[in-house]
Amino acid sequence: MTGKRFGRLRVLTYAGRIRERRTLLWLCQCDCGERRVAPYPELRNGQVTSCGCRHKTHGQSNSVEYQTWYSMRNRCFDPKCRSYKFYGGRGITICDRWLGPKGFVNFFADMGRRPKGKSIDRINVNGNYEPGNCRWATNHIQSLNKRNSKANKPAASPQADIANFTGVEEPF
């Protein structure tokens, strides 16, 4: 697969799979310079032919919500992402509904606008990105969440200790 071309996308590397659909995900480089993760069937049948620059139907690619969604995908699926090891590397993934061509639209429908000063937070820091486990939270709530999880699950190893930081998202 690596190096194969689908429209404007060139496949870079394997990026995991969606268990429920038995679908493989591939990290692709778009001609415009953006990267995206795409499920194989959607590449094969031509549903996905660019990072989204070809079909900017939601018209929100510069919105903070879109950036949140975009960096969430990178954290979970792009091994080159700085914080991948705290997310994808620990098995944190994104629900089906928030992936694929309708992924952002569904994410936005579920999460709504990001209130000022808040960022996406997973209620259970060991849980996935999915509607029931995500909320817009202030850094204060996120650090409380982090502390609670630390108190509930004492770190057994440096790795476990690092894992407790996953409730905090990267600022952008």
Residue 27 interacting with Zn ion (CB under 5 A): no
d(CA 148, CA 72): 23
Residue 50 interacting with Zn ion (CB under 5 A): yes
Helix (H, G, I), strand (E, B) or coil at 10: strand
Q: Find, among 78, 83, 81, the residue nearest to 162 by Cα.
A: 83
Nearer to Zn ion, 53 or 64 (CB): 53
Residue 12 interacting with Zn ion (CB under 5 A): no
The token duo for 27 is 């990290």
Q: Judged by CB under 5 A, which of 18, 24, 53, 64 binds Zn ion?
A: 53
Q: Judged by CB under 5 A, which of 25, 27, 28, 30 binds Zn ion?
A: 30
Site string for Zn ion, 68-87 (x = CB under 5 A): --------------------
Which H or E run includes 76? helix 64-77
Helix-helix angle 103-111:64-77, to 10 degrees? 120
Q: Judged by CB under 5 A, which of 51, 95, 120, 137 binds Zn ion?
A: 51
Binding site for Zn ion (CB under 5 A): 30, 32, 34, 50-51, 53
